[in-house]
Structure 1
Amino acid sequence: MNFGQVVTAMVTPFDNKQNVDLNKTTTLIEHLIHKGSDAIVVSGTTGESPTLTKEEKLTLFEHCVKVVNGRVPVIAGTGSNNTSESIALTKEAEKLGVDAIMLVTPYYNKPSQRMLYEHFKVIAQETSLPVMPYNVPGRTAVNMQAETTIALSKIDNIVAVKEASGNLEQITKIIAETDAGFKVYSGDDSLTLPIVAVGGDGIVSVSSHIIGEEMQEMVTAYKNGNIVEAARIHQEILPVIQGMFSAPSPSPVKAALQLIGVDVGSVRQPILPLTEEELAYVSSLVKQTS
């Protein structure tokens, strides 16, 4: 399974009553594919997965598979801090035709490295789909160490990792000590170029909703040996990336999408819409990209 180099962690569009809006989802998918997304993650953190019901997630998976129609891989966010529930959701997602699954490290219950390994192993054994674990200690209170990821990479259908530890030493070790076919993606937009520079494959991105083409150009430039050009693009887009995380995600990126004419609605509590001051800041950045 080739996920490409810019994967978008898609927001979940809502209507004005906070229900999942499938028509807006269709429009968003077309926007993302047009703007350079090589794959999309549905119902990840950026998709406000903690506030989505199981039924809403399954509806989104089914709808996205239908709309995408094989043009890019659809990666379903089926992970949680409950192993048996993750297995059940993964099995249902597989029946709906998704191309792969993303599994976040279990949050709140703070498992050991041995427990992390067994969690991912048992879920992977229950599906034939490619699996991408997602290490994000800033949100889960647990860091999956390089040795654990390396061990998991030896399981046939664990084919990639989304690494949002921000630890370049850890990420470099994973890249160095896994087989060439195992893909390592940055989980931090601002570290896309540094991680590609140490041998990573690309980014699972929030900012690509707005600057997907620029991120594609940056990664392609680096891989083609145009290092100065890649650095220039990185420097140019970094303020936009920072703006997308200037308030709890996905509030800034949803606001930015509205500003460029892609209506995805608002956010669900506990996340709140941007304040007027925050919106003015995001607006100033979006204007620079147009």
Structure 2
Amino acid sequence: MAFGRLITAMVTPFDETGEIDYSAVTNIVNHLIQTGTEGVVVGGTTGESPTLSKDEKVALFSHVVHTAAGRIDVIAGTGCNNTRASIELTKQAEACGVSGIMLVAPYYSKPSQEGMYQHFQAIAQATTLPVMLYNIPGRSSVNMSPALITRLAEINNITSVKEASGDLDAAAEIIENTPDDFQLFGGDDSLTLPLMSIGGAGIVSVTAHVKGNRMQEMIQNFVNGNVQEASAIHRELLPVMKAMFSAPSPVPVKAALEMQGTITGDVRLPMIRLTEDEAKNVYSALQPTTTVFFQT
């Protein structure tokens, strides 16, 4: 498996002034490694990429690569709706020593399928790194069709896709029509097991921030043929998975990490902290197996 099975879409910790807290970045990377994560996506949607400057992203890539020190894969989120800017950031990420890049479907611009093909092709041709595509029509407003992803998989260094459309039929079509070594990862925690049951490689997870060991146990049980045990863990984790998306992501998962004492829950505008009632719901979902520290 090029990127393992459990990848975490890592949050970007901020301090009370809204600046990146690099000490907390170190803490979260080590926390994720200790709780079963095999790779991290840095500077993606969960990392509040729209609020990060190019310089901040490059500094973040470099810091995470240094902290990980080869223990896990570091995948840099370098995609945007500006092809030239994505190429430039990809080259800088490659110089930082990342393991691969993630390219989100071009948001807001609403390009055609052919426009997206040429966009991804141009970026892939500008790097030697493995490329993970990211299809998330709920945020980008454009859907990458199975035919487009299948065509892109023919490009040598486009090796995987994070499929977050929620369409299992489309996922099955992609898996069926791409090379055996092309990996399809889920982008919705609650669909991890259903996707793996039709041939998916794993998950790019948010819930792994707070339930990484159990997510990894679920995956390994499924891979080893212990389907009933994997299914039981899925049902156990489902309330937590839902809680992580009970408000705009990554606000709930940052709140959960704060409750666990891992990092603060600070976010950058236009994201805002959870209300007291929202925080209580997240707290409740984390019970009873997680030790948390919650103040009203």
TM-score range, shorter chain: over 0.9
Aligned residue in 2 for 1:121: 121
Question: What is the Cα deviation at residue 264 of structure 1?
Answer: 3.6
Query: Cα distance, 1:289 vs. partner?
Result: 3.1
Q: Is the 8 A contact 1:16 1:265 kept in 2?
A: no
Runs (5+) with no aligned partner, structure 2? 291-296
What residue number does 2:269 align with? 269
| TM-score (ref. length: structure 1) | 0.99
- TM-score, normalised on structure 2? 0.97
2:134 is paired with a residue of what secondary structure?
Answer: strand
Mapping 1:48-87, distance limit 5 Å: 48-87=48-87
Q: In structure 2, what residue type is equivalent to 1:157?
A: N
Percent identity (aligned): 54
Q: Does the alignment pair 1:47 with 2:35?
A: no
Encode CA deviations 1:197-254: one digit per residue, 9 max, x unaligned.
0000000001100111111111111111111111111111000000000000000000
Partner SS state of residue 158, structure 2: coil
8 Å CA contact 1:29, 1:68 repeated in 2: yes
List aligned pairs for 1:250-269, cutoff 5 A.
250-269=250-269
Give yes or no for contact 1:121–1:155 (8 Å, CA) kept in 2. Answer: yes
User: What do residues 22-73 of structure 1 show as CA deviations (whole Å, max 9, x unaligned)?
Assistant: 0000001000000000000000000000000111101100100101011111
Distance in 2 (alpha carbons) for counterparts of 1:223 and 1:172: 18
Distance 1:242 1:265, change over 3 A: closer
Q: Aligned with 2:232: secondary structure?
A: helix
Number of corresponding residues: 290
| Secondary structure, aligned partner of 2:288 | helix
Instruction: Give 3-state SS (helix, strand or coil) of 1:134's partner.
Output: strand
Asked if structure 1 preserves the Cα contact closer than 8 Å seen for 2:12 and 2:25, the reply is: yes
| AA partner of residue 55 (structure 2) | E
String of CA shifts for 1:172-196, please: whole Å, max 9, x gaps: 0000111110000001111000000
Q: Is the 8 A contact 1:259 1:286 kept in 2?
A: no
> Which whole-Å CA distance do the structure 2 matches of 1:284 and 1:137 have between them?
30
Alpha-carbon distance between aligned partners in 2 of 1:138 and 1:265, rounded to the nearest angstrom: 24
Q: Is the 8 A contact 1:36 1:213 kept in 2?
A: yes
Question: What is the one-letter code of the residue matched to 1:29?
Answer: V
Pairs within 5 Å for 1:32-181: 32-181=32-181
The corresponding residue for 1:284 is 284
Q: What is the CA–CA distance in structure 2 between the aligned matches of 1:269 and 1:9, rounded to whole Å?
A: 19
C-alpha RMSD over aligned residues? 0.8
Q: CA deviation at 1:123?
A: 0.2
Aligned partner of 2:217 in structure 1 is 217
Q: Distance in 2 between matches of 1:194 and 1:110?
A: 29
